A and B are shown apart, each in its own frame.
Chain A
Amino acid sequence: MATSTVSPARAPADEPVRIVRKHHALVRIAHWAHVPLLLGLIASGLAIYWAAPVFRHAPTAVNPRGDWLADAGRALASVFGTSGDARNWLYERMSIGPQSLAKALQLHWLLAYLYMVCGAVYLVGLVRGGGWRALLPRRSDPAESLAMLRYYLGVVPHALMRKPWPHPPVAGKYNALQRGAYLAMPVVGLLVVLSGWSMHHPATLPWLERLFVNYDGARVVHFACMVILGGFMVPHVVLAIADGWDTLRSMVTGWSRRVKGASHG
């Protein structure tokens, strides 16, 4: 994954640099704005969730509300320790805290409106920059996905054995796995917004409530979307860093020095 064969340090100061445009400015702005928005939405959303958990089991003496997240908190607290109520371990760390419903609702509405604006900015950027074309699924995706999975599984063993392990050929901007993941994000983003409105206005938007079967259906979908959007961040950051400086920089500046056919395999 080397960058251009011509390193900038050795290139003469006035020789033009060959670059390709990767991401439209609006896509980049929306991409980075999503980070604080998503974190804030999760922190306020979990504090709302605390008031009435949707995933529950039969009440027990130690967990009278039967909240699975309280059980998870107790399990984590037994490993990491806590000074407060172990059942609130997760809520204290991943949300703005238990018993903060009014504050959490205010923050969640503010961030939710900004999130929708951000999503709209992203879509405009995707259309104006033509980036949407690189996200559409294609017929070769299943086979290419398997090749990519095989590649990812083999990267570490081959590096340890110091054996070559070539990257499968990538025809477009993204490989099949990236394409699937990057297309899933706006889809899940749309779903999280729709399920959010469905919970916010089940009476005035009954057709939207019916779309998720009922009120609790929307809650389950909303929670699942949160897990997917939040969970996406972890491999996304790891893989972006593993891919190198050029990839990270391209999401800030919009351009890349990895010109197809020059050095990228």
Chain B
Amino acid sequence: MDEPRRPRSSKRASPGARLAAALRRAAQAAAERPETVEEVPPRRLAARSRRDFLLLGAGALASATLGWWLLPDRTKRAWLPAGHDRLDTLAARVGLTRERRERALDRVLTFDDDVAEALYSKDRRVRTYARPDPRPLRNNYHGRTPGPGYLPGWRLELSGLASGRTERLAIGELLSRFARHDMITRLVCVEGWSHVVAWGGLRFPHLLAAFPPAPGTRWAAMRSEVSLDGRGNPEPYYVSLDLETARHPQALLATHHGGAPLTLAHGAPLRLVAPMKLGLKNIKALTHIRYTEAEPADYWAERGYSSYDGI
């Protein structure tokens, strides 16, 4: 008489009791199982162990070789002043040359850039903040900060346009023609520091609408002719920017910083602020934008950094 009643009683069980039963079953499934003892013929065991230790040795040798190959030349010299040449010669014997290493590491950057591009969407907004960092923004001009001499004659030159013309726009024209957009976003440097900054300026997509790029163009070659090197000699700075990023509503051609017009240290009178890119893409004292079909040159990509730089 007990047997048929059991299912009914379990159906009537309270939710608490059912939860407790489910938890008990989960605990049972997660409980450590007792060890099962196996009996193996010693010869077979020895052969298997030998194979596993040989595999470990081969793996260790392979990782040591690949690790050495991947080390930068500077590190090799620092760590092994006496024998680094000889080891490099040995590695080259098995095909692990310096040229191959550079190509392999370039491919790593391309792969990582592809991942970044896949994650990017021009419909997704970048995080904005209620107020900027109180500290002053660091001037990370790679060379010397240019003097004010270029400001009076400054024009933004646009080329590669659908109209076929080359436009030269003064800062007053840009300020009067386009609405100002303010935003507080984080500038992230490739070095690892970052800063929340209050920017103001015109939206890049508005400039693209007013001066449409030629059909088929996919890139903006952005250039600053007034950039200087560390000794103060002219050294143009140039970055590539994909038009997908330029069309982002938070891609800004900034004229203001912290509520005031841009200072020389931060790229007066006009700079790019693309918070979805590393700081090094955010070119200061912009003088030229040329729309191109092929990917244009990029200052830091030529120096071993990635070229897409999406963050």
A interface, CB within 8 angstroms of B:
8, 11, 13-21, 28, 32-33, 36, 40, 48-49, 51-52, 54, 92, 96-97, 100-103, 105-107, 109-110, 113, 130, 133-134, 136, 172-173, 199-206, 209-210, 215-216, 219, 249, 252-255, 259-260
Contacts and interface: CB of A to CB of B under 8 A. Distances in A.
Interface stretch (B69-77, B145-153, B217-225): B69-77
Contacts of A105: 190, 305-306
B187 to A, nearest CB: 10
Contacts of A28: 52
Contact of B37 (A18, A52, A203, A210): A18
Interface of B: 30-43, 45, 48-49, 52-53, 56, 59-60, 63-64, 67, 70-72, 74-75, 78, 105, 108-109, 111-112, 116, 119-121, 124, 126-127, 186, 188-194, 275-277, 303-306, 310-311
A253 to B, nearest CB: 5
Q: Which of B108, B121, B306 has the most A CB atoms < 10 Å from its CB?
A: B108
A214 B210 CA distance: 36
Main secondary structure of the interface of B (DSSP, over half): mixed
B40 A200 contact: no
Contacts of B75: 96-97, 100
Given A96-B75, A201-B119, A215-B188, A249 B38 contact: no
Contact of B127 (A13, A209, A216, A255): A209
A253 B311 contact: no
A260 B35 contact: yes
7 contacts: A21-B38, A92-B78, A96-B71, A97-B72, A133-B30, A204-B120, A260-B34
B72 A96 contact: yes
Given A32-B59, A107-B70, A201-B116, A21 B192 contact: no
A48 B192 contact: yes
Contact of A204 (B40, B43, B305, B311): B311
